[in-house]
Structure formats: C-alpha cells, structure tokens
Amino acid sequence: MAVSGILRRWAPLAFAATALAVFSPSAFAVDPGVADYRFSQPYTHGNLTIYMVHGKPGLTGKTPITLQEALQQGLVRVIETENVNLLEVENLSGEAVFIQSGDIVKGGKQDRVLSVDLILPPHSGKVSIASFCVEQGRWSPRDKEDAKTFSRSADRLPSRDIKVATNAPLMASRDSAPPTPRGDGRRMPQQRGDATVGSAQGKVWRGVAETQEKLRRNVGTTVAAPQSASSLQLSMENEKLKQATETYVAALKDAIDKESDAIGFVFAINGQINSADVYGAPALFRKMWPKLLQASVVEAIAERKEGTPSDVPTIDAVRRFMTDAESGKRADRQVGDGVTIQTRDADKAQFLESRAKTGGGYVHRSYVAK
C-alpha cells in the first residue's frame, strides 16, 4: 500500500499511544546517567561487538512481564484496528506488561512494529499504541492466522535505519495538546502530522526492502517468504538466516551470565557503534536479552562486508556516543496515562527514555546512532 494510499484511507493518522503532552523537566526525577555507567570489556564475534552496561537500577518493586511473555501466556491482546499506524493493546492480567519500541507483532492484516514504549497496567482495558507496517501490500488473513489479532512478538527491528525512521514522528512532535475524551471513557489519540508519519512509513518500507536484499547477499539465498515476500517478520524466520545466526548467538549469549548485574548493552557493527538499550532493572534486561541479541546478530549479518575493520570501538568511544546522545535537544511528554517519555535529538544520535509515572525511576533508555 503506497504512503499516499495510507494517508487517504486512514487520514487523519494518529501518532502516540493515547496522546503526547508536553511536560516540564521537573516531571523527571534525577537518575544516574552515562557518567555513572560502567562498561564491560568488549565481547566480539565476527563483525559484531557488544559491551555490557552496569549501573544503578532505576526501578524498584516487581519487574513487569514483557510483551512476548504476555502473548505466549495469553495475558495480552494486540488488536487490529484497520489503521496501519495505530493498534490497540489490552492487558488481561493482574501484572504490569512492558512493551518496547521496536517490538514486532506478527499477524493481523499486516505485520507491524510498535513504535513507542508502553507499560500496560493490570486489567488495562483497550489502549491505543502507535505502529508502523513492516509488511507492505498484504491486507487480508495470512494462512490460518487471525486477521483481527496479533499472535506473536518474538523479534525486534534488526536495522538502525528503521529504528531512526520509527522514532522520527516522536522526535518531531515538539508541540502537543491534551487528549480528547471518548464517550466510552478511553482517550482519543491526538491527531499528529500526516506528512511526518507518512514519510516515516515510507522509510520503514524502504528499510525493510534494503535489509532483505542485504540478507539475501550475505546468507546466499532469498529470505523473502512465499506467503508474503515483503514481511520482515517472515524473513527473520527464514531457516538459512537462523542457521547463519547460530554461531554469533552461541558466542555472545553467555555474556549476560558473566555480567549478571548488567542493566543493558551497547553494540557495534563493522567497528561502528550502532545502538544501546539500558533498563531500569537487571531482571528486565535479562528478559529482553534474547530478542535484543538476535536482532543485533541479524543486523550484523546484513551489514557484513569483506575486509571490514578488525578494530573495535574503545570504551571511551562508547561513553562519548551515549553522552552525545543525551546532550541533544530535550522534550518531555506523556504517552498514554502510564508512561512519560523524554526524547533528546542530537546531531548524530537519538535518545529516548521512558518511565512509569507512578514508579519514579526510568524503565528503558534507548540510544540510536543516526
């Protein structure tokens, strides 16, 4: 479906989980930042290098369950709205559920990637969440899947460029208004600029196609699936690609056991720092680690080149990358009723921090090189 078609069919598009409202900096408690982080020595396999991050946790109390866990246990519903850039999620359980920007959900009328962090409170009711399509063209059930819901969230975005694209509307949303109440008690998503979302969606589709082509070259076979050639999710399930990831994963997966109190990680590909994810609790990072590592490995395979540099970034370079990201222009917002998000848009990196309004400390920090 072309971007212009999306804008006509679904206009006006909504961007935000339920709304974006500007907050003053005092809405955020002072937390330890990059200056307080400690970094492990690098763990390297092939063209992928990771550094484990240690620091003071930002969360206290019970660790939320992840979207993947909740879907596997039938505790959460992810619902097709027939709006490409907006889904609904509902927590049926008595525990909080953490959804991370970059989580891919499989099913519905098109596979999507969720584009904001969200913490679903227990028995949340239906809550809107921003999304992007990562499967261009399909708009009907696939095989025996339910077109009304999404059944699985086992993978994450394996592309820095796509991450930057999905963050773009949030970074661009400098001004916001309070959400409009709905008659059923829920809040109506605040209307966002169609051009920003449409441009980002086009970049996401291009990024998916480019990732599939890079993987084809480096895996030695097409990763496009017969059921839906444009599906990023189905490409990541390709058997040849899975085989190619095995040696990377085997070499690096135990880093989290060697660094048992780590709260996050940074990774570099071909000697260039790519991204970092830091969490408010070691237990939450441990839950997310398999998905994070797998996505990093897939991206490393896609970006693998002959004659890539053997040098890896120094720890000082890693710290500078994260410090520079945190130095960007700041905006603080509310996403829905349960999460506040701080964004900082620097020249060479994006920084996003999410925190539960009632929990005090940060839940997740994301650093992405532009």
Question: CA-CA distances (angstroms) from residue 97 to 76, 237, 316?
Answer: 8, 25, 35
For the stretch 96-130, pLDDT in tens is: 999 999 999 999 999 999 999 999 999 999 999 99
Angle at 68 between CA 206 and CA 303, to 5 degrees: 35
- Given a cut of 80, whether residue 188 has pLDDT beyond it is no
Pairwise CA distance, residues 309 & 326, whole Å: 28
How many Cβ atoms from other residues are within 10 Å of residue 261's Cβ? 11
Q: Which residues make Cβ contacts (< 8 Å) with residue 162, sequence separation at least 6?
A: 113, 134, 203, 204, 207, 208, 211
- What pLDDT is attached to residue 186? 38
Of all residues in the chain, what percent carry a pLDDT higher than 90? 74
What is the arithmetic mean of pLDDT over 259-271?
A: 97
Q: What is the pLDDT confidence band of residue 4, given thresholds at 50, 70 and 90?
A: very low
How many Cβ atoms from other residues are within 10 Å of residue 129's Cβ? 27
Q: What are phi and psi for residue 80, nearest 5 degrees?
A: -70, 130
- What pLDDT is attached to residue 339? 82
- What pLDDT is attached to residue 336? 67
Tokens of 126: 């239906």
Least confident stretch, 18-32, 85-99, 254-268? 18-32
Reported residue count of the chain is: 370
Pairwise CA distance, residues 370 & 165, whole Å: 10
Least confident stretch, 84-88, 171-175, 213-217, 322-326? 171-175
Q: What is the pLDDT confidence band of residue 271, given thresholds at 50, 70 and 90?
A: very high
Pairwise CA distance, residues 11 & 172, whole Å: 19
Q: What is the pLDDT confidence band of residue 38, given thresholds at 50, 70 and 90?
A: very high
- What pLDDT is attached to residue 91? 97
Question: CA-CA distances (angstroms) from residue 315 to 42, 262, 320, 356?
Answer: 8, 16, 9, 30
- What pLDDT is attached to residue 8? 37
- What pLDDT is attached to residue 183? 33
Pairwise CA distance, residues 65 & 237, whole Å: 24
Higher pLDDT, 196 or 153: 153
Q: What is the pLDDT confidence band of residue 254, given thresholds at 50, 70 and 90?
A: very high
DSSP letter string over 295-346? HHHHHHHHH--TT-------HHHHHHHHHHHHTSEEEEEEETTTEEEEEEE-
Maximum alpha-carbon separation in the chain = 61
Q: Which residues make Cβ contacts (< 8 Å) with residue 269, sequence separation at least 6?
A: 47, 48, 49, 296, 299, 300, 303
Q: Is the peptide bond before 290 cis (omega within 30 degrees of 0)?
A: no
Reference 48, options 293, 358, 338, 362; nearest CA is 293
- What pLDDT is attached to residue 205? 97
- Given a cut of 50, whether residue 277 has pLDDT beyond it is yes
Q: What is the pLDDT confidence band of residue 184, given thresholds at 50, 70 and 90?
A: very low
